Structure 1
Amino acid sequence: MKTRALVFFAAATIPLAAPASATTKKECVASYEQTQSLRKEGKLAQAREAALVCSDNTCPRVVRGDCAEWLAEIEKSLPTVVLVARDDKGDETADVRVFEGDKLVRDRLDGKAMPMDPGEHVLRFERDGAEPVTRKVIVHEGDKLVRIEASFKKEPKAPEPSPEDEKGSGVPIAPIVIGGVGLLGLGAAGVIGLLALSAKSDLEASCAPRCTDAAVDPVRTKLLAADITAGASLALLGAAAVVYFVSKPKPTDEQKSAMPRLEFAPTIGGGFVGLRGTF
């Protein structure tokens, strides 16, 4: 009889104990207020957690009703993302940690959708033995199952230029300067030569063949000056060509055919100097 009485007493006292998960009225009110303020701040993930508390059956009916309505609206607006990572072979891997700033978002990927507040986020994917991968994304309100993928596959590096390539890049300055002076000299020789030929033509029309030395000497001097200037200019152009080809790497056959080259051809009463090649 004593044993039955004890059992009966224990059974009678069990319903009187409050459930361990029961929410106090104070917690309900605090979560109610937090839900509203967090929604206004755009922190939907935290607002959802607060709405779950104040919509509990242990909360007052008025509070519970509003929170349940808000929870449905938040669930609809709250974006969700799926984090994906690939190893250096391009295969998906779960052994990855994801941070947003200093906050650990995931210590391992499980393929499940994760709620994320709308707005701009910078996620850092980390994997042992690999360089971290940073992804900057903008999540929009109402987006669902947005894939955010990071790849740990190393991109092939561009080959570094060799010393020969660096040496051969661009056109050396010295041959440009020497060649420029040579071209200017050829221009001056041409002008002097034309003046001499014009004076010679005047003498032939006025006094030839009985022109005095005083009249002929200036023409001879101009012709000689034109010849000397042209010769010196051609020498400068030749020197420029030598400096250019010495300072440049050996060209290919295709480059040789397109390379500018200086040509000289004799003509009646003088010569012709030209530059041929692909420009």
Structure 2
Amino acid sequence: MSSPSTALRFVPAALFAMTSLGGTQAEAAPPDQARKAACAAAFEEGQELEKAGRLVEARGKFVACSAADCPAVVRDECTTMLPRVESSLPTIVPGLRDATGNDVVDAEVTLDGKVLTKTLDGQPIAVNPGPHTLRFAAPGAPPVERQVVVRVGEKNRVITVDLEASVKDAPRDQDKPTEAGQGTSGRRVASYVLGGLGVVSLGAFAYLGATGKGELDTLKETCGRTQSCASADVDAVKTKLLLADVSLGVGLASLGVATALFFTSGSEKKAATSAVVRPLVAPLPGGGAAMLFGTF
């Protein structure tokens, strides 16, 4: 059997010979000139498409030039090459599932932007080998894309994707049930935060109180004896002592609330709410006061 390239070189000559020869044998069922040219062109194009990896299109050309009304020399070559292309031609079986896991039948599937099918009936579909973008679209749900690489000779490859739930059907945050233990977890976290705040505040009280008391004693031993202390120095000492008192109040209140939250976090679970703590600091004559208001 001749190779495709050799056969291609002899097709024009064979066609010419069939057209030119006279006699009853040539006149028995002679294809017209246009049909001869179409068959020869389909044969040539089929070979080029096969080389380019466009096997779907190549199969169509070889089917066309295998028709009974094509010249015998062309028809014989095409019928020989057609099975080879069909053997290499891959097929896929696209599938689609909805949010409940049921198969979807009425859906449009496109391959690289071109409609492949509008009915998912489980039948294989021939596609060219290589990388492709499959897009599945069904009513009531956003489309889903899948990147695939189809291999030469791969048959009946099942490609099933799951539809995402429609945005309008997705549960809203306020409709979601409260997870068990959410309120308890929030209280426990709040107790840790307030405990840390209390420790830091008490540390600030110790530092400000010690340094402020030391500076006050220094003023008393120096300019205080003659009542000649500068106002700026006196105000600085007062501010430091006031901040020390405020830090003490915040520290004690934070530790108190933190302790209460920690020991009540294991009690009966209630609807989860956000813990909000607001400090209130107020200066008073000779010192200050600090309080914490909170909702849990």
TM-score w.r.t. structure 1 length?
Answer: 0.53
Aligned: 1:74 with 2:70: no
1:249-264 matches, within 5 Å, as: 251-253=265-267
Aligned: 1:131 with 2:131: no
Whole-angstrom CA distance in 2 between matches of 1:134 and 1:183: 59
Pairing partner for 2:155 from 120, 136, 144: 144
How far apart are 1:253 and its partner, in Å? 4.2
Cα pair 2:49 2:55 within 8 Å, conserved? yes
Whole-angstrom CA distance in 1 between matches of 2:199 and 2:57: 76
1:1-279 matches, within 5 Å, as: 24-152=35-163, 154=165, 160=173, 179-180=199-200, 182-183=202-203, 186=206, 235-241=249-255, 251-253=265-267
How far apart are 1:178 and its partner, in Å? 6.7
How far apart are 1:94 and its partner, in Å? 2.4
SS in 2 for 1:143: coil
SS in 2 for 1:105: strand
SS in 1 for 2:134: strand
How far apart are 1:82 and its partner, in Å? 1.2
What's the C-alpha RMSD, in Å, of the aligned pairs?
4.9
Whole-angstrom CA distance in 2 between matches of 1:246 and 1:32: 89
How far apart are 1:184 and its partner, in Å? 5.5
Which whole-Å deviations, capped at 9, do the CAs of 1:90-117 have from their partners, x for residues lacking one? 3334222222354221122332211011
Aligned residues: 202
Letter in 2 for 1:73: R
Cα pair 2:205 2:245 within 8 Å, conserved? no
Distance 1:186 1:51, change over 3 A: farther
Distance 1:230 1:129, change over 3 A: closer
Flag structure 1 segments of 5+ consecutive residues without an equivalent: 1-14, 191-228, 256-279
Which whole-Å deviations, capped at 9, do the CAs of 1:179-231 have from their partners, x for residues lacking one? 435336557999xxxxxxxxxxxxxxxxxxxxxxxxxxxxxxxxxxxxxx998
Distance 1:19 1:69, change over 3 A: closer
SS in 2 for 1:104: strand
Whole-angstrom CA distance in 1 between matches of 2:123 and 2:139: 22
Whole-angstrom CA distance in 2 between matches of 1:157 and 1:241: 43
Distance 1:243 1:135, change over 3 A: same
Distance 1:136 1:26, change over 3 A: same
Letter in 2 for 1:84: G
Letter in 1 for 2:202: G
Flag structure 2 segments of 5+ consecutive residues without an equivalent: 1-26, 177-181, 211-242, 270-296
SS in 2 for 1:122: strand
How far apart are 1:146 and its partner, in Å? 0.8
How far apart are 1:236 and its partner, in Å? 4.8
Cα pair 1:182 1:232 within 8 Å, conserved? no
SS in 1 for 2:173: coil
Distance 1:23 1:45, change over 3 A: farther
SS in 1 for 2:121: coil
How far apart are 1:31 and its partner, in Å? 1.2
Which whole-Å deviations, capped at 9, do the CAs of 1:72-91 have from their partners, x for residues lacking one? 22111111011223345433
Whole-angstrom CA distance in 1 between matches of 2:198 and 2:114: 66
Letter in 2 for 1:67: C
Whole-angstrom CA distance in 2 between matches of 1:74 and 1:42: 10
SS in 2 for 1:71: helix
1:7 is matched with none
Question: Higher mean Cα deviation, 115-124 or 152-161?
Answer: 152-161
SS in 1 for 2:119: coil
